[in-house]
Amino acid sequence: MDMESAVTEIAAVMKKAGLVWLSWDGGRPAPAWFATVDGRYVVLADAAEGAEQPLPRLAAAGSAEVVVPAKPATNRLASWKATVRRLEPGTEEWTAAAQVLRTERLNAAELDRQLDRWRTEADLLVLEPTGEITEAAGRYDASPRAEAPAGTPATTRGKPPVTLHRRIRRRPRLS
């Protein structure tokens, strides 16, 4: 498949996606919302656990695999290889991408400081297709993808109440 037809196929599946799963440096895939800016796919990445989406070391990775989930998200539409390029804050390209991402960002905190925070605390990254589509309709990898859940410090509070999801039956009164 030549580069032009691969980019066209990628554009078609990306139109159907609200988020993608990114994996880089052999790590576990991470969900990421993105925006299409002048035909390029731009993600916002916090280097650490910040107010935005944490995608640590993605900016330095240089490449990533992009998995486009289908709806329902139990299936995948396609996956493709991308080079990762960091946009330099303050450039016209960064400003244009930031404005589009700002409109796509749902439930953002501190809207008045958002662009300043992105300029200092996050990276705007462009995912540029390499032309390699690793999976698509009719070309899916049959290997199992089941993985153990990621570790978390979250716990339950304790034993759930006895009446969880059940109605309490009342005894008839004896008169």
pLDDT in tens, 2-20: 888 888 888 888 888 888 9
pLDDT of residue 112: 75
As a whole number, mean pLDDT of residues 123-129 equals: 94
Write down the mean pLDDT value for the chain.
Answer: 82
| Per-residue pLDDT tens over the stretch 19-74 | 899 999 988 888 999 999 988 999 998 866 666 788 888 999 999 999 998 876 66
pLDDT of residue 41: 95
Domains of the chain: 3-135 (2.30.110.10)
pLDDT of residue 35: 92
Quick check: helix, strand or coil at residue 68? strand
Q: What are the Cα distances from residue 28, in Å, to 11, 22, 80, 84, 157?
A: 24, 8, 16, 17, 28
Tokens (6 digits) for 67:
């998995």
pLDDT of residue 128: 94
Nearest CA to 19 out of 103, 97, 76, 102 is that of: 76
Quick check: helix, strand or coil at residue 120? helix
pLDDT of residue 164: 56
Helix (H) or strand (E) holding 61: helix 58-61
The answer to whether the beta carbons of residues 75 and 59 sit under 8 Å apart is no
As a whole number, mean pLDDT of residues 127-141 equals: 81
Quick check: helix, strand or coil at residue 175? coil
More confident residue, 174 or 55: 55
pLDDT of residue 148: 75
pLDDT of residue 77: 81
pLDDT of residue 159: 73
pLDDT of residue 75: 73
As a whole number, mean pLDDT of residues 126-153 equals: 77
Q: Is the pLDDT score of 127 beyond 90? A: yes
